[in-house]
């Protein structure tokens, strides 16, 4: 455990970059080998380019605000504030596990749930849901405004958890890999998915969240751990083959692939649900 703490305390920027690029590459290749949905029905290169653009904006936001995480981590450590500090004396593995679970709950699950239930936040998060061909590159398809919102929730998590720098980097690393994994257009054996989904969010679980209509888009909010959705009653199981990706207010393919339009969505007049010709038999 000491080795893990030491590594993530001083995790090199290069290693974080390798994790991002390596994860995308790994799941990208897996999708080619065993896709759930055919990738021949759309321009994958154009789709990837658009999502990489939003990944780049996410990176820029995170880098520009990184100093806030460090300052917050220093403050909670200096003042002995937060759950991990209050658990001093407990086995470090237990403290780390509880800290990681709470970081995931506040920084990911609660942030995600809130974005779906607060109208102005939803307008920023909407860009993520406009993707009509969900794959591993969708993982970081976030409006820059949403990246800021997510960062604020992460800061709140650091304060409540009392997270040191190593816990922040550990959480962010696992969160990055898991979001690449659970967005992947990957056909998994049912036995493997059934085993993993008791603990972590799998592609079969998260894809339901990207169905174009409610109530399915308001389920399965998790990122790392799946049990938050079970606890709060937002976990559902749906035949993934019957899913239709996108969001029913923005099903126009040109809009969904226009970076200029996507950046403007949060500032446009709210668009109510539109008619979409698709049989709903989930």
Radius of gyration of the chain (CA): 19
Is 117 a member of any domain? yes
Could you tell me which residues are beta bridge partners of residue 245?
211
Instruction: Write out the chain's pLDDT in tens, 282 residues.
Output: 888 888 888 888 889 899 999 999 999 999 999 999 988 888 999 999 999 999 999 999 999 999 999 999 999 999 999 999 999 899 999 999 999 999 999 999 999 999 999 999 999 999 999 999 999 999 999 999 999 999 999 999 999 999 999 999 999 999 999 999 999 999 999 999 999 999 999 999 999 999 999 999 999 999 999 999 999 999 999 999 999 999 988 888 888 899 999 999 999 887 666 555 555 556
For residues 226 and 218, what is the distance between their CA atoms, to the nearest angstrom?
A: 15
Tell whether 97 is covered by a domain: yes
Asked whether residue 39 is domain-assigned, the answer is yes
Distance CA(146)–CA(129), nearest Å, equals 12
Domain count of the chain? 1
Residue 201: inside a domain:
no
Q: What is the pTM for the complete model shown? A: 0.92
Identify whether 278 is part of a domain.
no
* Residue 59 lies inside a defined structural domain of this protein: yes
* Domain interval for residue 139: 16-186+254-267
In a domain, 234, yes or no: no
DSSP codes of every residue in 214-262:
TTGGGS---SSBSHHHHHTT------GGG--BS-TT---HHHHT-HHHH
């Amino acid at each position: 455990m000491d080795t893990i703490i030491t590594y993530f305390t001083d995790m090199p920027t290069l290693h974080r970059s390798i994790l991002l690029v390596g994860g995308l590459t790994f799941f990208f290749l897996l999708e080619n080998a065993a896709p759930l949905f055919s990738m021949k029905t759309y321009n994958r290169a154009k789709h990837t380019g658009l999502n990489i653009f939003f990944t780049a904006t996410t990176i820029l936001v995170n880098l520009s605000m990184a100093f806030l995480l460090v300052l917050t981590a220093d403050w909670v450590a200096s003042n002995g504030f937060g759950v991990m500090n209050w658990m001093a004396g407990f086995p470090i593995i237990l403290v780390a596990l509880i800290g990681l679970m709470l970081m995931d709950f506040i920084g990911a699950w609660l942030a995600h749930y809130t974005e779906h239930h607060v109208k102005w936040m939803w307008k920023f998060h909407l860009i993520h849901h406009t993707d009509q061909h969900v794959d591993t590159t969708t993982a970081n398809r976030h409006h820059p405004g949403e990246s800021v919102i997510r960062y604020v929730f992460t800061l709140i998590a650091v304060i409540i958890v009392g997270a040191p720098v190593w816990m922040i980097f550990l959480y962010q690393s696992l969160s990055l890999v898991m979001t690449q994994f659970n967005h992947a257009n990957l056909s998994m054996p049912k036995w493997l998915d059934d085993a993993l989904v008791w603990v972590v969010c799998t592609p079969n679980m998260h894809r339901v969240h990207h169905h174009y209509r409610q109530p399915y888009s308001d389920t399965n909010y998790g990122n790392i751990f799946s049990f938050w959705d079970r606890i709060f009653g937002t976990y559902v199981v749906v035949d993934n083959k019957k899913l239709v990706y996108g969001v029913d207010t923005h099903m126009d393919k040109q809009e969904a692939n226009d970076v200029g339009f996507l950046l403007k969505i949060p500032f446009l007049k709210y668009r109510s649900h539109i008619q979409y010709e698709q049989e709903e038999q989930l």
